[in-house]
C-alpha cells in the first residue's frame, strides 16, 4: 500500500511517496534525465563502479561517520537519488530524489581476527574482499553508493580502511574524487579544505613573442603551422579511433581468455605506495609533468613484464632479439577518459553541500587512444622521453572533442543500445584503461579520521587492465585492477612499474653527477 509522507525543505512542504520500502519525492524539478554519458554506464556490458580507498591511522568511529554524512554527502543530489525508468520499455532513465537510509549504505563486515591471523595477511584479506565486491553490483532500488568500513589493522599507518563504491553514472573520476575531498579537512587546520596541485602553464617564451621588432609574417607562419599540425594530428587520431571502434584490436599479450559474460567483472586489485618526490625529480629532469613520468614508468614496467614471455631461461641470441623487437610486435594502447568540463573545484562542491549552492557536475567526457611503446631500453630515461613525446602530440589534437561529439550524435540518432554496442567494441579492442589523479598536497582527515592512504580504481569496463595513479601529500599510490586471466601475477607487474621508477631516478642522478664533474 502506497502512503504519503511530507517533509519540509527550504520552507516548502513537498509530498514524498513511499513504495517498496523507499521514499521517492514527488517533485518535477527533482525528476531529472540522466545525461547520455551517465545513461551509457547503465548498459549490461558497461556497468562501471568506481572504488575509492581511504586508510586511517585510527580505528573507524562508525557512529560519527553516520552522523556527519546527512549534513554533507547526502546533500549532493546524486547521492540522494535513485535511477528510475526502463530503456527496454522505451522509458528514459531519470534521477529521482529519495530519502536515504544511511544504515543501508554504510557496511561493516564482521572480521574473524583469529582466523585471519592463522590463514592470511590483512593485505590479502582486503584484496580478496575487493575481489568479491567486484563480482556484485549496487542495488538500484537505493542511491548508487556504499561505504564499506573494515575495522582491520593493515599496517602501522592503517588501523582501519574505508572503501567507497560509487556507480560511475554519478560522475566522472575527477568530479567524484573532488567531491570526496570536499568532505575532508586539513589535519593541521580542521576548518580548511585541502589544497590540490594545479598544473602550471609553461610560459618559457623569454617574452620574445612580445618584443617589438618581431615581424608580422612570423606570427602568420606560426599560426598556419599550428592549425595544420592540429588538423593533421586530429585526422590521424580520429581515423585510428574509428578503425578501433570497427576492427583494429590490440595484441593479445594481455587480453583476457576467460570469455563469457563475466569478462566485465571480477577484478583483482593490488596497490603500492612510493615517494612522490622521486617522480618530481624525474619530472624536473626532463622538463615534463607527473603524468609524463607516470606513463613512462608504466611503459617501462609493461616492457619488463612482457619481456618475460619471450624469456626461455637461456641467454640465447634469438631470445635477446625477440626482447628487443617487442615494440615491433606488440600493439598495446590505453583508453583515456578526458573530462571536457572540469569540476568546479573542491570549494564549490563544499559550498554546494554546506550552503545548498550549485556546482558543475556530470559525465561530459571524451576518449583518447594513447599507445604504449613497448620495448626494453638501455637508457631508462627513454621510457619517460617517449611517453612525453606521445602526450605532447596528443595535446595538439581534437580527438577527445571528436569522440565526445560522435558519441552524442550516435546516442541521439540510434539510442543507448547502439551507442553501448559501439562503446563495448571500442573498450574490448583496447587493453588498458589509465588515469592519474592529483590528490591533496597536505595530510587530511575525513570525519575526524586522519587519512594515511588514498587509492582508487574501478571495475565493470571490458578492459582487462586498469592502471591508476593517485597522489597524496608526499606519496604516490599505484593501483592495478586486472582480470586474472590476462594478468595472473598483478603484484609482479606492480613491482615492475615501481622498479622502473627506481631505475629512472638512478639514471637522472648519474647523469647529473657526470654533468657536475665535467663542469
d(CA 509, CA 517) in angstroms, rounded, equals 12
Phi, psi of 105 (to 5 degrees): -110, -20
DSSP 8-state assignment for residue 98 = B
**Pair 338, 366: CB distance under 8 Å:** yes
Phi, psi of 466 (to 5 degrees): -120, 125
- Is residue 342 classed as helix, strand or coil in its secondary structure? coil
Nearest to 301 by CA among 386, 390, 383: 383
> How far is residue 385 CA from its own chain's centroid?
23
How many other β-carbons are positioned within 10 Å of the β-carbon of residue 502?
14
> How far is residue 347 CA from its own chain's centroid?
21
Nearest to 47 by CA among 256, 266, 244: 266
By CB atoms closer than 10 A (0-12, 13-18, 19+), residue 281 is middle
d(CA 189, CA 425) in angstroms, rounded, equals 48
Q: Give me the long-range contacts of 304-313 (CB less than 8 A, separation at least 24).
A: 304/376, 304/496, 304/499, 304/500, 305/492, 305/493, 305/496, 306/253, 306/254, 306/330, 306/374, 307/376, 309/253
> How far is residue 317 CA from its own chain's centroid?
41
In the annotation, is 168 catalytic? yes
d(CA 160, CA 60) in angstroms, rounded, equals 6
DSSP 8-state assignment for residue 463 = -
Nearest to 140 by CA among 9, 34, 30: 34
d(CA 193, CA 195) in angstroms, rounded, equals 7
* H or E, element range at 385: helix 381-395
Check 49, 167, 168, 429 and give the catalytic one.
168
Grid cell 517533485 is found at 27
d(CA 21, CA 24) in angstroms, rounded, equals 10
**Pair 207, 214: CB distance under 8 Å:** no
Nearest to 375 by CA among 317, 324, 431: 324
HSE on the CB side for 101, CA within 13 Å? Answer: 10
- CA-atom Rg of the chain in angstroms: 24
Q: Give catalytic residues, as residue numbers.
A: 168
Amino acid at each position: 500500500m502506497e502512503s504519503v509522507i511530507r517533509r519540509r525543505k527550504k520552507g516548502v512542504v513537498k509530498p514524498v511517496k513511499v513504495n517498496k520500502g523507499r521514499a521517492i519525492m514527488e517533485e518535477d524539478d527533482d525528476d531529472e534525465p540522466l545525461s547520455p554519458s551517465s545513461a551509457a554506464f547503465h548498459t549490461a556490458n558497461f556497468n562501471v563502479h568506481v572504488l575509492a580507498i581511504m586508510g586511517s591511522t585510527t580505528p573507524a568511529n562508525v557512529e560519527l561517520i553516520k552522523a556527519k554524512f546527512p549534513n554533507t554527502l547526502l546533500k549532493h543530489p546524486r547521492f540522494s537519488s535513485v535511477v528510475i525508468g526502463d530503456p527496454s520499455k522505451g522509458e528514459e532513465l531519470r534521477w529521482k530524489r529519495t530519502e536515504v537510509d544511511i544504515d543501508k549504505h554504510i557496511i561493516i563486515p564482521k572480521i574473524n581476527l583469529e582466523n585471519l591471523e592463522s590463514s592470511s595477511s590483512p593485505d590479502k584479506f582486503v584484496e580478496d574482499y575487493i575481489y568479491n565486491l567486484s563480482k556484485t553490483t549496487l542495488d538500484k532500488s537505493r542511491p548508487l553508493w556504499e561505504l564499506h568500513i573494515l575495522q582491520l589493522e593493515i599496517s602501522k599507518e592503517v588501523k582501519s580502511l574505508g572503501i567507497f563504491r560509487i556507480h560511475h553514472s554519478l560522475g566522472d573520476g575527477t568530479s567524484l574524487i573532488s567531491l570526496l575531498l570536499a568532505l575532508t579537512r586539513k589535519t593541521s587546520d580542521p576548518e580548511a579544505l585541502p589544497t590540490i596541485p594545479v598544473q602550471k602553464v609553461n610560459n618559457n617564451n623569454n617574452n620574445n613573442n612580445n618584443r617589438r621588432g618581431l615581424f608580422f609574417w612570423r606570427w602568420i607562419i606560426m599560426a598556419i603551422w599550428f592549425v595544420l599540425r592540429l588538423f593533421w594530428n586530429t585526422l590521424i587520431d580520429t581515423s585510428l579511433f574509428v578503425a578501433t571502434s570497427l576492427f583494429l584490436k590490440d595484441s593479445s599479450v594481455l587480453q583476457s581468455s576467460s570469455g563469457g559474460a563475466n569478462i566485465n567483472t571480477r577484478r583483482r586489485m593490488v596497490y603500492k605506495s612510493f615517494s612522490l618526490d622521486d617522480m618530481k625529480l624525474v619530472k624536473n629532469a626532463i622538463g615534463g609533468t607527473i603524468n609524463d613520468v607516470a606513463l613512462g614508468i608504466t611503459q617501462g614496467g609493461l616492457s619488463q613484464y612482457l619481456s618475460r614471455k619471450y624469456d626461455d631461461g637461456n641467454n640465447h641470441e634469438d631470445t635477446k632479439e625477440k626482447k628487443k623487437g617487442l615494440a615491433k610486435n606488440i600493439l598495446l594502447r590505453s583508453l583515456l577518459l578526458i573530462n571536457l568540463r572540469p569540476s568546479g573545484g573542491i570549494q564549490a562542491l563544499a559550498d554546494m553541500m554546506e550552503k545548498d549552492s550549485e556546482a558543475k557536475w556530470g559525465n561530459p567526457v571524451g576518449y583518447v587512444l594513447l599507445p604504449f611503446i613497448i620495448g626494453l631500453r638501455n637508457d631508462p630515461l627513454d621510457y619517460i622521453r617517449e611517453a612525453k613525446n606521445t602526450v605532447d602530440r596528443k595535446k595538439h589534437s581534437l580527438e577527445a572533442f571528436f569522440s565526445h561529439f560522435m558519441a552524442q550524435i550516435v546516442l541521439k540518432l540510434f539510442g543507448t543500445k547502439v551507442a553501448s554496442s559501439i562503446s563495448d567494441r571500442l573498450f574490448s579492442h583496447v587493453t588498458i584503461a589509465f588515469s592519474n589523479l592529483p590528490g591533496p598536497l597536505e595530510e587530511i582527515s575525513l570525519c575526524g579520521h586522519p587519512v594515511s592512504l588514498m587509492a582508487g580504481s574501478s571495475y565493470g569496463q571490458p578492459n582487462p587492465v586498469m592502471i591508476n595513479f593517485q597522489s597524496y601529500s608526499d606519496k604516490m599510490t599505484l593501483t592495478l585492477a586486472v582480470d586474472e586471466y590476462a594478468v595472473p601475477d598483478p603484484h609482479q607487474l606492480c613491482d615492475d612499474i615501481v622498479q622502473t621508477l627506481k631505475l629512472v631516478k638512478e639514471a637522472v642522478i648519474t647523469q647529473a653527477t657526470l654533468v657536475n664533474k665535467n663542469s
